[in-house]
């Protein structure tokens, strides 16, 4: 890696090569690399507030292929993905051409410890945005790296949606996060929430089965998926515990994973109960 790779903003508080390509509307072209379909759609919704085009791909290998085909102005790069992760993909993209030598490649990840950030920057990434990504931290990246401001007519949220998830069970979910994503996804939010409530028990079971089988790689894979999806719905306790299991799986040390899995099971049951109540309210609105 070249020593002069641009490294700014350590932190601002995842088919065909291009899975979703926006029409040619002018402006800079951005590559979104994100393997979680819900998070990918959220980022796309947020990008609609800027005068840009974008493509989305699902892993590091697809990101490299997309970068070979287009000279992107900015890359939003998930870190943990199947086939090839974001750090390795960044290193390979940097080698493609002089254009990519100093291009802003931003890590979009929930792993933002000081050690993690230092690793991303030392491996050639330009900055970090913490998941779950929101309008404000994306606007900061766009302004700093591309000089592009949010279009005011698309900024902000509806006051009624800001207050929808207030007043009960505040210790179970992050209602601010959930509320923001509901405002972004609008009618699609109910569909995604219903899918999460259906798929959640299966994801939980898959993590447990992988632990029982001694399958560290399986624990990492299923826990990562559970973590990423739970973030969208404000289930922070679920996401944090799944992240712990993901790390255990990545290290290949899951001998002590069972107590954390039991905590995860309890946290999901609580989150699931609260989210089911909100889904009923949404369906009756």
The answer to whether the CB of 240 falls within 8 A of the CB of 276 is no
- CA 13 vs. chain centroid, Å, equals 14
What does the pLDDT average to over 89-108?
A: 95
- For residue 275, CA distances in Å to 39, 186, 237, 271 come to 18, 16, 14, 6
pTM for the model stands at 0.60
- Residue 50 tokens read as 């800027």
pLDDT digits (tens, 9 = 90+) for 225-261: 899 889 888 898 899 999 999 999 999 999 989 889 9
Which CATH number is correct for 160-283, 1.20.1440.130, 3.90.470.20, 1.20.120.160, 3.40.50.1450?
Answer: 1.20.120.160
Nearest to 197 by CA among 280, 257, 261, 127: 280
Nearest to 89 by CA among 53, 116, 63, 50: 63
The residue extents of the domains of the chain are 20-148, 160-283
C-alpha–C-alpha distance, residues 18 and 65, integer Å: 9
pLDDT digits (tens, 9 = 90+) for 175-199: 888 888 888 888 888 888 888 888 8
Could you please state the CATH topology (level 3) that the domain comprising 20-148 is classified under.
Rossmann fold (3.40.50)
């Amino acid at each position: 890696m070249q020593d002069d790779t641009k490294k700014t903003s350590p932190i601002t508080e995842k088919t065909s090569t291009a899975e979703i390509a926006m029409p040619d509307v002018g402006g800079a072209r951005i590559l979104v690399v994100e393997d979680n379909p819900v998070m990918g759609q959220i980022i796309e919704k947020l990008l609609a507030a800027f005068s840009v085009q974008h493509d989305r791909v699902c892993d590091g290998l697809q990101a490299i292929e997309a970068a070979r085909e287009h000279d992107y102005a900015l890359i939003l790069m998930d870190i943990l993905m199947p086939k090839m992760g974001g750090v390795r993909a960044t290193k390979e993209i940097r080698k493609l051409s002089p254009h990519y030598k100093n291009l802003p490649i931003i890590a979009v990840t929930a792993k933002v410890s000081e050690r993690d950030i230092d690793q991303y920057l030392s491996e050639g990434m330009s900055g970090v945005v913490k998941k779950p990504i929101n309008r404000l931290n994306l606007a900061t990246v766009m302004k700093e790296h591309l000089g592009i401001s949010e279009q005011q007519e698309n900024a902000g949220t509806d006051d009624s949606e800001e207050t929808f998830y207030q007043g009960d069970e505040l210790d179970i979910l992050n209602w601010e996060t959930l509320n923001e994503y509901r405002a972004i996804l609008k009618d699609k939010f109910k569909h995604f929430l219903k899918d999460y409530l259906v798929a959640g028990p299966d994801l939980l079971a898959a993590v447990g089965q992988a632990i029982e089988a001694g399958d560290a790689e399986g624990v990492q894979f299923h826990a990562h998926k559970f973590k990423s999806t739970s973030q969208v719905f404000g289930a922070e306790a679920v996401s944090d515990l799944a992240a712990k299991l993901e790390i255990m799986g990545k290290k290949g040390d899951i001998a002590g994973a069972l107590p954390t899995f039991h905590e995860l099971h309890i946290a999901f049951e609580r989150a699931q109960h609260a989210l089911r109540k909100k889904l009923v309210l949404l369906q009756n609105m």
